[in-house]
Amino acid sequence: MARSRKTRSYLVNGFFNRIMESLAYLQKQIRDIPDFPKKGILYRDLTTLFKDPRAIEIATDLLVRRYAGKGITKVVGIESRGFIFGSILAYKLNAGFVPVRKKGKLPADKISTTYTLEYGEDSIEMHRDALVPSDKVLLHTTFWPQGVPPWRRSNSSRSWE
C-alpha cells in the first residue's frame, strides 16, 4: 500500500530532524582549542567526542548509513584520528583497513606525498601493496590542513611517489 504524500513528508521531516539532532549532539562533543598548535589556528579536539560512547555510536551510524551498499573494499585512514573511525568503518562495511602513516612509521615498501600545513610541511606514507586497481576506496580522515586534501594543493599535484 502506497503512503500518502503527507505521511511521506512526515517521515522525511522526522528523519531529517533526527539527523540534525545527531549532528548537533556530535558538534557539542568537539572541543575548540584556539591558538593550537600555533597562534591563529583553531584546533578541533576530537578526544572529547571519542570518550563519549553515544557520540561514537552516532558518528559510526551516520557514516555507515552513508557508505553502506556502495561496494567499498578498502577504508584508508590517515594518521592518527583517521585510524579510529576508519577501522570501525572498515569493520562495519566488511572492508579492509589501510593505515596512512607519518613518514618513517611503515616497515615495508611504501609510497609517499608531502603537503603543506598552516605551520609547516609534513609527509604521509602508505604501503605500496595496500591497494589494488580493483579496490573501491573510502578515504577517511578527520584532518585537512587548510581545509583541502593534500593531493588537491598545487605543491602536491604530482600525486603519490
Catalytic center residues: 81, 118
Q: Which residue has the cell 609527509?
A: 123
Structure-block grid coordinates of residue 137: 576506496
Tell which residue, 96, 93, 78, has the closest CA to residue 142.
78
Q: Which residue has the cell 583553531?
A: 42
Q: What is the DSSP string of 44-72?
A: EE-HHHHT-HHHHHHHHHHHHHHHTTS--
The whole-angstrom separation of Cα 55 and Cα 52 is 5
The whole-angstrom separation of Cα 138 and Cα 124 is 17
